[in-house]
Amino acid sequence: MSVHKEVKRITTNTIQEMKHKGEKIAMLTSYDYSMATIVDDGGIDVILVGDSASNVMAGHETTLPITLDQMIYHAASVVRGVKRALVVVDLPFGSYQGNSKEALNSAIRIMKESGAHAVKLEGGAEVRESIERIITAGIPVMGHLGLTPQSIYKFGTYTVRAKEEAEARKLKEDSQVLQEAGCFSVVLEKIPAILAAEVTKSLKIPTIGIGAGQYCDGQVLVINDMIGLTKGFHPRFLRQYLNLYEQIGGAVQEYVRDVKEGSFPSEKEQY
C-alpha cells in the first residue's frame, strides 16, 4: 500500500491567519505550468498569474493589451502545476472597468475555465461595486492600490505613488473601502514604506507589497525579474536572486558550438 502525504492547501483563510500570527506571506508570479511547478515546490504561499504576462511573456510595453482569453490560458497552465499554493489571477484591463456585471462575468470565466482560487483587480472606491458583486458570487478578491499599471497612461510614469499628502490620504481611504467591500488581501505597489506600514497596521486583511517596504504582511515579485530573466531591469525594490539571462545565454552559446563542431549528439546520445 502506498502512503501519500496529503499536501495542505493554502486558502484565503490561511493567509489571513498568517497576518494574525505575524507570519510573512511570500507571493511570486507565474505564467506557465513548468515555472508554477518549481515555484509551488519551492514553498511559495501565493502564486499570482499577473497581467505582467503582457510584458514578460508577450513583450508588450504595458499590461493593457493582454486579453481575458490569454489570462485564462496562462492561469489554467499554472493551476495544472500547483498542488499547494493559492492561485490568484489578474482581471485584465478592459474586463471589469465597464460595470459590475462585466466584472462578475469576467471573474466567473476565470474561475470556471482555469480552476484558479481567486481574482485580483486594480483600484479603490471606483471598483467597490464590482468587488462586492464578485464576492457575492463566492469568488475571493485581492485588491491592488498604489502604482496600478493598468492606469499607466493616466499616471504617465512608473515612479513611486502617493508621496503627496492628498494621494496618500486617498490611498488610505481606498484601503478601508477594499476591506469593507470584502477583499481578502491587498497588493500595495511602489508607495513609501512608511505609508505602507500605516496601511498595514490599520487593516485586518493582509497587505502584500512590491516596492512598498518591509512593513507589509507579505511581499510579491515578478518571477522573471527575480530570477534575472528580464534584461536590464534593475529597479531599487528588486532583489535579483539569479542571473538566468546570462546563464541561459551561455548554455545557448555552448549548444550552438557543440552542434556546429559536431560534438552533439555523441554516440551515447543516439539510438
CB-nearer residue toward ligand KIV: 71 or 203: 71
Closest approach of ligand KIV to the CB of residue 204, in Å: 21
Alpha-carbon distances of 28 from 111, 124, 222, 224, 267, rounded to whole Å: 20, 23, 6, 10, 42
CB-nearer residue toward ligand KIV: 21 or 234: 234
CB-nearer residue toward ligand KIV: 104 or 121: 121
Query: Which residues contribute to the site for ligand KIV (CB under 6 A)?
Result: 29, 48, 50-52, 90, 187, 189, 210, 220, 222
| C-alpha–C-alpha distance, residues 240 and 162, integer Å | 26
Residue nearest to ligand KIV (CB): 50
Residue 113 annotated in active site: no
CB-nearer residue toward ligand KIV: 18 or 222: 222
Catalytic, out of 189, 246, 254, 261? 189
Residues with catalytic function: 189
